[in-house]
Chain A
Amino acid sequence: MLGRGLKRKLSDYEENMAGLSSAFDSSRSLPYPLKRQLVLNMCLTKLQTYKMLVEPNLHRSVLIANTVRQIQEEMRQESNQQPVNICPGIASSSHSYTGMESSAISLQLPSGISQQESNCCDLRSVEDPIENSLLIVSDDDMSSAISSILKDLDFVEDISPPTCLVPTGDDQPKFPENAGLKLEDDRQDLKGAECVFGSFEISNSTSYLKDLAIDDIFEDIDTSMYDSDFCCPPLMPPRSPSLATEEPLKNFPSCNSSSASNIQICRTDLSELDHIMEILVGS
């Protein structure tokens, strides 16, 4: 329940805004920066109000945001130029815009404002109460107000698929399936993402390498002679020796195990191997 005092203040605010707008419309003597400030404040008030709605009107929000940007740009250009002798009283104050707090301001509009002469200095008595009520807004506040409004509008879960996982360009129709829920689209997105990165994997060309164990690769290469003196037993029984040497080869133990007890056997094997080699080479 609104307290009576607060309600009166709000309706005062509305009346004063209406009064200010009609002053804007009817008075030729309001200086331009003041008019601009008034419009800016109205824009920001509206944006703040929309922000409190569950579903702000996108069309209106965009139009108001554009107006704010336009004013912002204009003010930025002005401040970049040489300082213009603007009317005293419209100095940039340290106030920052605080949105709904402005509703607590009480205005005292001088009654004769629409009849004022278009002379800046004469308006000083008029400006001050107005200027006190119009809060000067910083650039950052404006930008953040716009950004947050538009970002909030994006909260609306989008049911159409995002543009281009595959480069659609101009020749592929977009099929927004009426899945309805973003969950499904997320799944599709993930699948799509996988597809995109799937093409970068080398799995297709080199899969046979992955499938084989290291042992299998070197199956037919006997590196026992090049192994260390401590001798790892050859990984596999060598297959290359000719028939003439088969008999002594049979005496070789199975080379599968690599236990330490095989070291003795290895040494014996090696000397006999040397012997066989001598025979083979015919030395």
Chain B
Amino acid sequence: MESKAGTAETRSKLTAPDGAEVTAFESLQFTDETHRLISAPPTDNASSFTALLELPSPQVVELLHASDSPKLIAASPTNVEDFKRNFHFPSNTGLIERDRRFSGETNNNNEKRNSPESKNLSANLEKAVKSEPAETESSQPLVSDPTLETRSIKRKDRENKVKGSTKKSKTAVNESSDDAQKLPYVHVRARRGQGTDSHSLAERARREKINARMKLLQELVPGCNKISGTALVLDEIINHVQSLQRQVEFLSMRLAAVNPGIDVNLDSILTSESGSPMDSNFPSLVMPVMWPEVQGNGHRQQYQHEWHFDALQQPVWGREEVCNNYITPENSLLTYDTSANSVTLHANQLKMEL
């Protein structure tokens, strides 16, 4: 998959003078796939990367920093053709040298890749050409990323770490300073130990997305705010989901015990139900139905629940068993209590009608 992206670069490289051709080219057989990839429409959630190129630079930097969205990703087909035409190499010899150097370095680290050479090439391209094609080139491999956002990204992650540490320590400072000078193109602040190559960009965007959503989850699940570390937070979330599911089971069992005949009067009640809030409706819904069914309590003993529930006669205890440390359920109960008091009269009247 990354090879397809790599071959886009190889093909564009071929348009350059032949002296630049290096031993790295072996991925030419993927040109058909590259065609398909390029002619494929951009994905739904990705805006055009090259649209960013027309923005003034500070806005772009801000966008890239603030976003957890794949704004970095997916060039449209026409733009790919455009900058391939504008693709020039400043110095072929310098490129050849760096190719030799990096092919020795990165081949050890790329055993997981399908075409280490194309990846090598993409790395070289960033070094050789200052910033213009580097960022625009990065759009091509990024096209593959959102469409194939499977666990292959984890492979890239491992790679990127190794590659980043070997190369970026040399050229990170140069890269960022050069970025600042070439104005109309996208600037990415390359952190030390992190690359500006396409894959680490995509990886960074993805990580930011995930972290943002994890933060939302932490806010939602009570007690997760103080915990740091993804594994523990995920533990809490898992516990929360499991407890909620267990509560649903428990409550449905409880309801099954209480009212075998809940559907009897529901038709009439539903038709008379207006848009009033749910809490005040509950008593009127349920009370006329529940009243004759209290004798169903004998079935309780058939439970095999871990909570040893016999709490129809002990509603307070049962409720406390179920409420862990939620705020919202207790609020709903409280509101229910106040509305229930106001409706008991109404329920008595209904009882008489029954």
Do the two shown chains form a genuine complex with each other? Answer: no
